[in-house]
Amino acid sequence: ETGVTQSPTHLIKTRGQQVTLRCSSQSGHNTVSWYQQALGQGPQFIFQYYREEENGRGNFPPRFSGLQFPNYSSELNVNALELDDSALYLCASSLREGPTPTLHFGNGTRLTVT
Amino acid sequence: LAKTTQPISMDSYEGQEVNITCSHNNIATNDYITWYQQFPSQGPRFIIQGYKTKVTNEVASLFIPADRKSSTLSLPRVSLSDTAVYYCLGGGGDKIIFGKGTRLHILP
């Protein structure tokens, strides 16, 4: 059983650019969620995908968008990068069953915006 | 959506039992309470989950009173490697809220 993998592990971008982060779900999981974690803060929920559709979103602007593919892998896209977007971006996969699925996290992508 | 409140930080010594309490006053009837552990530069890792009373696994115990408005994570005989941030989540579904967590520091 392979765990959740994210790529790249580190990334440096310039303000105004666009970035795509990738996540490969744990085998057998059908739901993926993305989080932004600033230094010293807890993970902030960005959105969740189930069956290739967004089915929950946190307080993030539309320039944060995502995709889930038929194999349940996922992408997070961020347009018009701002300095405050610098953070650790975490992906978590889960199996949608019951009211409180257990989340399985990758080790994240560290994004630095200069 | 159940927002949670935890102590910001705690210190303890190796070999002691550590209890971290979380309040989740408006947890939904069907939601479970879940605790995660996070080390620096890693994603959170599932520790334990429960609905009511007591749950125990190989690493921790979780105590939930009858009113379910709080829960206590108990770590028996902690070691230096238990130094981490611990998060409790009151629910999940399509919108998941992490608080700031409890930064646990284990001293030798």
Nearest to B30 among A35, A58, A99 (CB): A99
Nearest chain B alpha carbon to A109: B41
CA B2/CA A4 separation, integer angstroms: 26
How far apart (Å, rounded) are the C-alpha atoms in residues A45 and A99? 17
Indicate if the pLDDT at residue B56 is higher than 80: yes
Using a CB-CB distance cutoff of 8 angstroms, which residues of chain B are in contact with residue A56?
Answer: 93-96
State the nearest Cα–Cα gap between B13 and chain A, in angstroms: 23
Cβ contacts of B95 on chain A, cutoff 8 Å: 45, 48, 56-58
Q: Can you list the pairs that A59-64 forms with residues at least 24 positions away whose Cβ atoms lie under 8 Å?
A: A60/A36
Q: Whose CA is closest to A15, among A102, A72, A84? A: A84
- A99 versus B10: the higher-pLDDT residue is B10
Place of tokens 């996969």: A93
pLDDT tens-digit series, residues B75-100: 999 999 999 999 999 776 666 788 88
Q: What is the pLDDT of residue B34?
A: 94
Average pLDDT over residues B11-16: 97
| CA–CA separation, B97 and B1 (whole Å) | 8
**Mean pLDDT throughout B52-61?**
95
Q: What span, in angstroms and rounded, lies between the C-alpha atoms of B101 and A20?
A: 28
Q: Over 80: is that where the pLDDT of B66 sits?
A: yes
CA distance A96 to chain B (A): 9
Give every residue of chain A whose pLDDT is below 70, as ranges.
Answer: 1
Interface of B with A (CB under 8 A): 28, 30-34, 36, 41-46, 49, 85, 87, 89, 91-101
Residue B98 has what pLDDT?
Answer: 86
Percent of chain B with pLDDT over 90: 75
B92 and A100 within 8 Å at the Cβ level: the answer is yes
CA distance B85 to chain A (A): 9
Q: What pLDDT score does B96 carry?
A: 77
pLDDT bin (cut points 50, 70, 90) of residue B31 is confident
> Which of B33, B44, B101 lies at the smallest CB-CB distance from A105?
B44
| Location of structure tokens 């968008």 | A65
Structure confidence at residue B92 (pLDDT): 66
- Residue B30: band (very low, low, confident or very high) from pLDDT cuts 50, 70, 90: confident
Is the pLDDT assigned to residue B35 strictly greater than 80?
yes
Q: What is the mean pLDDT of residues B13-18?
A: 97
Chain A residues with at least one Cβ partner in B under 8 Å: 4, 33, 35, 41-45, 48, 55-58, 88, 90-92, 98-108, 110
Task: From chain B, pick out residues whose CB is under 8 angstroms from the CB of A48.
Answer: 94-96
**What is the mean pLDDT of the segment spanning B4-32?**
92
